[in-house]
Amino acid sequence: MRAEEVLAALRGKLGERLRNPEVRAETVGYRRLRERECLWAEIGREDLLEAVRTLKELAPLHISIISGADVGDRIELIYHLGVGYGTETGEVMVNLRLTVPKDDPVVPSLCDILPGAQTTEREKIEFLGVEFEGIPDTRKLFLPDDLPVHPWRKDEPELAGYVRRTVAWEEKGDEGKGEA
């Protein structure tokens, strides 16, 4: 599969809603370096499910991860997807960027289309406070259940206090955890 084929399919479905598409070649590997085609584009959250369904219709599809970052008044998510994974024609990495406002950080879950998305979606719930509509399980994976903060949010008001308490606990050892 070629990146231009993937781009044509996405353009056919999304039209002008597929913004700033760019095909890039990147070098991957450690011992045996090789070139791989990548597609980067921006979409709106309302187009996420349609874009992913389009990719899945092309060839076997897997999600590598969802990257996330606090970018001021918005949260940026980048969906890293492999189209054609495990096929003779090879894989094209597709990176779909979308942003959501911090006061409405809601995105549709991909779990109905790609069940493997659940772990990376749950991570973004914990660390960035993003909500995924339709995710079957929202339990925390990495952080304590009672942690009220989202550590990757730059504007998290409680984070500084939590970090100070954690450092104090570590300095005192286990016996000081109730005192900070």
Between the CA of residue 87 and those of 59, 61, 174, 176, what are the distances in Å? 8, 10, 51, 55
Report how far residue 130's alpha carbon sits from residue 143's, in angstroms, rounded to the nearest whole number.
15
Which residues, other chains included, contact 116 with Cβ-Cβ below 8 Å and sequence gap of 6+?
62, 63
Question: In the chain, what are the domain boundaries?
Answer: 3-142, 146-180
Q: Please check the confidence at residue 110 and state whether its pLDDT lies above 50.
A: yes
Q: In whole numbers, what is the pLDDT of the chain averaged over residues?
A: 89
Question: What are the tens digits of pLDDT across the range 117-175?
Answer: 999 999 999 999 999 999 999 999 988 888 888 888 888 766 666 665 555 555 665 55
- What CATH class has 3-142? alpha beta
What would the two tokens of residue 177 be?
């955890």
